[in-house]
Structure 1
Amino acid sequence: MGGRQLEAGTCAPFGRTPDGREARVWTIGAEGGLMARVSDLGACLTSLLVPRDGSYLDVVLGYDDAAGYATDDAHLGAVIGRVANRIGGATLELGGRVYHLAANEGANSNHSGPDLWRHRLWRLVSAGPASVTLELDSPDGDQGFPGAVRARVTYEVVRGALRISYLAEADATTAINLTNHSYFNLNGQGSGSVLAHRVQVLADRYTEVDAGNVPTGRLLDVAGTPLDLREPHRLDEAAALFAREHGGFDHNFETRGFRPAEGRVGEVRRVASAWGDRSGLRMDVLCDLPGLQLYTANYLDGERGKGGVALRPHDAVCFETQFFPDAPNHPAFAQDVFGPGHPFVSCTEYRFDGA
């Protein structure tokens, strides 16, 4: 970001969507500390700025304006809902009734179908120097899901961390699994591959998947596999993964220490960490959910990001906190089923040393 000055608590135009809607972007943070920029288009995190050596290092991939996000296929920085990740066969059984969802990845639903929440404009609820809250209504039957849902997300800069808090209330029993799909490069966005980053995931097991990346229902041990990240490893040490179909990590881990908590999904604890190989920057990931999808941006394909930089495979790594994919179709998994009197309340933090 060079010597650019940022002012927390400001709002600016962010361009227009293809259908003429005006988008905005808010800057939040603390003077001399961590700063973030958030748009009402998709409730996207467009920049995350870590102070380094008198300047700022932007550690998330994104676009310069709304036009980029409106055509984005990679979900850069977006809030994903109503259900993140895959639902096998695009079918969902709740209370003995089968619901047929919009399929958008072969026969499966991925990130809830083709009418993605990241293409929708969210309403502003409140904004201040250190936080912004946005809200979206998802009607009954939205892409086949039962019940009307009001989703609210708050981005807040607190104690060197970006905290993302979610609240989703439904008027009928339904599946809700919200996440943020930010792409992190701790050397700075636009700086190339992250495969030399070291990553740690505090997980002893992962969900086995079929050819469509949908869980089979089995949990397998990470021991003796390239997915064993219980101690920090460079991403490229899992070389065998990068020669396979998905071209890298795209796996859901069962994070250690998940315990349901009164009034929210679970208790917040550290589930992963990452270290930039050139910047030396450390980021810890904390959440209250049972799963974490580690994804090494395998399908970026030359999209032009901020500053016109071409985004290539493995230019970032995602830490998508979540319930397990396809959870309602696997009763042994922790269930992402919510309804009246039982809202989805969750929190994820991305915490930086010294920020």
Structure 2
Amino acid sequence: MICNIDQTAKGEKATCYSLKNKKGMEVVVSDFGATLVKVLVPDRDNILRDVVLGYDTVEGYEQGGVHFGATVGRVANRIGGAGFELNGKEYRLTKNDNQNTLHGGIDYYNKRMWKTEQEDDTKVVFSLLSPDGDQGFPGNLKIQVSYELTEEQELKIHYDAVSDQDTIINLTNHSYFNLSGHDSGSVLDQEVMICAEAFTEADAESIPTGKIVPVDGTPMDFRKKKPIGRDVEEEYEALIFGKGYDHNWVLDGTGMRMVAAMASKQTGISMEVYTDLPGMQFYTGNFLEAEKGKDGAVYGKRSGACFETQYFPDAIHKENFEGPVLKNGERYETTTVYKFV
């Protein structure tokens, strides 16, 4: 259902779509950036709480630099040295994170109009053609991203892509969750669990070294749920480098499985994260600063937490990381689910 139409700086019509289920949950997405705009969930008192950070207008998403609700690609996270070799050919990318590439470079997918392929009361499908050479990557890449809301309180995000050349791809969603409500301030008292016995060590520029480090005995251990703020200020190298949690966890298991959970005692809202991917960037909004958001809210440091399911960062340069290479004609398919319980 169309819930709003806005206009971009280029004069394009940006449309929002509302998905609803019978339990009162509502999700709002936009064809500008294939963006997740709102997630409204009933709390313990049956009051709807919007649990993702965002903006009121398309102008906010155009100008904002923190990727609220964003579909991120062609390659999410970081590529060291802003380049890579594939099939014997070197490809140069945009340096937008020191000497590295972050989230595909500055020509972000979430700053583009996507085409609406399908929409009804429970599902929307967006598509984008990323041409050969786009952001520096090879191959004409045809992408579809679908958002589906189920009666089981699941928000399913499905990614589907094919390329006419070998390329690399790593799509994710960059929503910031605050289960006490997007406008409630810090998430440090909210509890998180991550099903991971290890994380990928990174240097001071957040580029993985290739070393996989056990979480046991470190502040990175979320195998049992704990408040985000319990260990976030520990004098631990990874936390010092990241200015808090901003790291890739090596998720337990394979195939579609639950990999993380978050809960707010204040509202009684809990969320489970499911994916079929090997890694997840858990990021605690360490660089948010006086960001003007929805409904007059101002988001400060650690006002939200991201659960970015992914292939490991800089995997193209690490032989021991599962590769993000998509072969010509093969299909890239992955699903992430945020389930509210």
Secondary structure at the aligned position of 2:234 is classed as helix
Equivalence for 2:170: 177
Structure 2 counterpart SS, 1:271: strand
Structure 1 stretch 17-26 or stretch 197-206: which is displaced more? 17-26
TM-score (norm 1): 0.92
5 Å-filtered alignment, 1:102-121, equals: 102-121=94-113
From 183, 189, 209, the equivalent of 1:216 is 209
2:41 is aligned to 50
Instruction: Tell whether the 8 Å contact from 1:125 to 1:134 is kept in structure 2 after alignment.
Output: yes
8 Å CA contact 1:14–1:39 kept in 2: the answer is no
Please name the residue that 1:271 is paired with.
Answer: 259
TM-score (norm 2): 0.96
Deviations 1:242-298 (A, max 9, x none): 97343210010000002xxxxxxxx21000001113112110000000000000001
Across the aligned residues of Structure 1 and Structure 2, the Cα RMSD in angstroms comes to 1.3
Q: Which residue of 2 aligns with 1:74?
A: 66
Q: Deviations over 1:160-187 (max 9, x none)?
A: 1100000011111000100000000000
Q: How has the CA–CA distance of structure 1 residues 153 and 100 changed in structure 2, closer, same or farther, with 3 Å as cutoff?
A: same
- Name the CA distance, whole Å, in 2 between partners of 1:241 and 1:97: 42
**Preserved CA contact (<8 Å) 2:195 2:252:** yes
Contact residue 29 and residue 131 of structure 1 kept, 8 A: no
Alignment correspondent of 2:234: 240
Question: Counterpart of 1:207 in 2: which secondary structure?
Answer: strand
1:291 is the counterpart of 2:279: yes
Measure, in 1, the Cα distance between the counterparts of 2:333 and 2:298.
36
CA distance in 2, matches of 1:136, 1:27: 20
Contact 2:206 2:241 (C-alpha < 8 Å) held by counterparts: no
- SS of 1:190's partner is coil
- CA offsets 1:45-94 (integer angstroms, 9 cap, x no match): 00001123333111100111101100010000010010000000011111
SS, match of residue 273 in structure 1: strand
Match of residue 22 from structure 2: 31
| Count of residues paired in the alignment | 336
Q: Is the 8 A contact 1:14 1:66 kept in 2?
A: no
Pair 233,54 (structure 1): closer, same or farther in 2 beyond 3 Å: closer
Give, in angstroms, the shift of residue 32 of structure 1.
3.2
Letter in 1 for 2:105: G
Q: Distance in 2 between matches of 1:347 and 1:143?
A: 24
Partner of 1:323 in structure 2? 311
* Structure 1 residue matching 2:240: 3-state secondary structure: coil
Counterpart of 1:236 in 2: which secondary structure?
coil
Contact in 1 for aligned 2:206/2:242 (Cα 8 Å): no
**Aligned with 1:336 (options 307, 315, 324):** 324
Contact 1:200 1:230 (8 Å CA) reproduced: yes
Consecutive aligned runs of 4 or more in structure 1 exceeding 3 Å deviation:
none
Q: How does 1:294-305 map to 2 (within 5 A)?
A: 294-305=282-293
Please report how far the alpha carbon of residue 241 of structure 1 lies from its aligned counterpart in structure 2 after TM superposition. Answer: 6.1
Matched residue type, 2:299:
L
Secondary structure of the residue aligned to 2:176 is coil
CA distance in structure 1 between the aligned counterparts of 2:47 and 2:122, rounded to whole angstroms? 19
CA contact (8 A) 1:165 1:345 kept: yes
Shift of 1:338: 0.5
Q: Shift of the alpha carbon at 1:304?
A: 0.7
Aligned counterparts of 2:328 and 2:91: Cα–Cα separation in 1: 19
Residue 250 of structure 1 pairs with residue 246 of structure 2: yes
Deviation at 1:306, TM superposition (A): 0.3
Instruction: Report the Cα distance in structure 1 between the residues aligned to 2:81 and 2:241, rounded to whole angstroms.
Output: 21
Structure 1 residues not aligned, in runs of 5+? 1-9, 259-266
Task: Give distance in 2, aligned partners of 1:55 and 1:178.
Answer: 33
Match of 1:160 in 2: 153
Cα distance in 1 between the residues matched to 2:59 and 2:5: 9
Q: State the identity as a percent.
A: 42
Tell me whether 87-96 or 123-132 shows the greater mean CA deviation. Answer: 87-96
Partner of 2:340: 352
Instruction: Tell me the amino acid that sits aligned with residue 336 of structure 1.
Output: P
Are 2:179 and 1:186 aligned?
yes
What letter corresponds to residue 340 of structure 1 in structure 2? N
In structure 2, the residue matched to 1:22 is 13
Match of 2:84 in 1: 92
State the 1:339 CA deviation. Answer: 2.3
Alpha-carbon distance between aligned partners in 1 of 2:116 and 2:148, rounded to the nearest angstrom:
14
Cα shift at 1:12? 3.2
Is the CA contact 1:14–1:65 (under 8 Å) kept in the aligned structure 2?
A: no
**Larger CA deviation: 13-22 vs 106-115:** 13-22
| Partner-residue secondary structure (3-state), 1:348 | strand
3-state SS of 1:244 partner:
helix
SS, match of residue 67 in structure 1: helix
